[in-house]
Amino acid sequence: MFSILQVPTFQLLPREAKALLNMDGAQVSNLRSMKLQNESFNIDKRKDQHGIVVVEEIEGLIKVYNNGHVERAPIVPNVPPVSLPDITSKDVIFHNPTNLWSRIYVPNTSRNKLPLLVYFHGGGFSVGSAAWKCYHDFLSTLASKIGVVVMSVNYRLAPENRLPAAYDDGFHAIMWLKNQAMVNSKEQYWWSSKCNFSNMFLSGDSAGANIAYHVSIRLNSNNNNNLKPLCLKGLILIQPFFGGESRTHSEKYSVQPSYSALNLSASDTYWRMALPVGSNRDHPWCRPRFNSNNNMKLPSVLICISEMDILKDRNLEICSVLADAGVKVEKQVYKGVGHAFHILHNSPLSHPRTQDMMSHMKAFIHNQ
């Protein structure tokens, strides 16, 4: 296993990788063939005596071997749920067949029933946990500051569980909530009694925002009326992780600092590990397709965008496409910060921008 004690850094794309962006398909294929031949020696050096070799890697985060073994670096400590004067958090199982759990946060100061925010953590579908300290701290503060009950979903990770596994897990979490709203379980009373199930929001950051979006699409296709007594009032997508084979301007030219949480090389690797085998980034789970002639029956959407994120143009694009499809969209752009600023705090502007984002989330939730 790795021994990494801090949030990982990603290097800027090498010169030859940048050149790939302007090549046609034949040129890329020829270059790949030459590079495979030239790199065969380097790959062989990474094999052990049993022929085990790394086939995918994001430096400092994850290694995937050709025998299926996956190593994830302990870059962020896991922390247990806690009870504090202003917030109570506990872990609960929501899907027994897969033993999946969520961490629920309940403000202790409110006597009124509160909106329910279902949150999916980021990590390129391949790393991360609802127990990571950065998410625990962020969601504890969020629940207390904006006045919501938060259910932070721990879902199965790729590449062991490729998409749609995470979407399935998100759907199971919503169905579990529906059941809790109907049965009034004594075991879950500590949080369910504080929760307004008819005022539910889905949210997440990066890959988690992608999950929130696709779970909402599935709920819509299964008839939102079947959710009762739940009612989905809105989506809050924080730097949603979408992509495509063609490159956007921000993907090509956005210069990422050394401490950036996401660069183009890492993004491509995440998608190779997460999408079904044989798929490319034009798969609809990566690049959603819309029919502008038919109004989408999605609730209102708040999309939070980072000015320095390579995903900025993708995020702006989905704002436009959703609006064209009849969805009520609100967007907020946070200047001077990059991907995952709200949990990594890797910029002097991270804290004030996070406070701004929480204020926007609060206004969005309480105005629906």
pLDDT given for residue 17 in this prediction: 36
Query: Is 29 labeled as catalytic in the residue annotation?
Result: no
Q: How many domains does the chain have?
A: 2
The CATH number that applies at residue 197 is 3.40.50.1820
E strands, the chain, where? 54-58, 62-65, 70-72, 87-95, 100-107, 114-120, 149-153, 195-205, 232-238, 300-306, 329-334
Residue 240 neighbours by CB under 8 Å, 6+ apart: 206, 209, 210, 213, 303, 311, 314, 315, 318
Same domain, 33 and 180: no
Residue 20 in this model has a pLDDT that exceeds 50: no
pLDDT tens digit sequence for 89-140: 999 999 999 999 999 999 998 889 999 999 999 999 999 999 999 999 999 9
Cα 352 from Cα 364, distance rounded (Å)? 18
pLDDT tens digit sequence for 205-216: 999 999 999 999
pLDDT given for residue 294 in this prediction: 56
Same domain, 57 and 129: no
Same domain, 308 and 199: yes
pLDDT given for residue 226 in this prediction: 83
Same domain, 146 and 232: yes
Mean pLDDT estimate for the chain: 87
Query: 292 exposed, middle or buried (CB, 10 Å; 0-12, 13-18, 19+)?
Result: exposed
pLDDT given for residue 258 in this prediction: 75
Residue 29 in this model has a pLDDT that exceeds 80: no
pLDDT given for residue 224 in this prediction: 60
223 sits in the region (left: phi over 0; alpha: psi -120 to 50; else beta) called: left
Same domain, 45 and 187: no
What's the whole-model pTM score?
A: 0.86
Same domain, 41 and 177: no
Residue 27 in this model has a pLDDT that exceeds 50: no
Among the ranges given (69-73, 259-263, 293-297, 325-329), the one the predictor scored with the smallest mean pLDDT:
293-297
pLDDT given for residue 50 in this prediction: 73
For the segment 141-157, the average pLDDT, to the nearest whole number, is 98
pLDDT given for residue 257 in this prediction: 76
pLDDT: which is higher, 296 or 324? 324
Among the ranges given (77-91, 173-187, 289-303), the one the predictor scored with the smallest mean pLDDT:
289-303
pLDDT: which is higher, 345 or 225? 345
Task: Specify whether the CB–CB gap between 254 and 310 falls below 8 A.
Answer: yes
Residue 16 in this model has a pLDDT that exceeds 90: no
Residue 9 lies in a domain: no
Other C-beta atoms closer than 10 Å to the C-beta of 197 total 20
Catalytic residue from among 206, 250, 254, 350? 206
Residue burial 257-274, b: 16+ Cβ < 10 Å; e: rest: eeebbbbbbbbebbbbbb
Q: Which domain holds residue 44?
A: 15-72
Task: Specify whether the CB–CB gap between 118 and 174 falls below 8 A.
Answer: yes
Residue 37 lies in a domain: yes
Residue burial 104-143, b: 16+ Cβ < 10 Å; e: rest: bbbbeeeeeebbbbbbbbbbbbbbbbbbbebbbebbbbbb
Same domain, 32 and 146: no
Residue 30 in this model has a pLDDT that exceeds 70: no
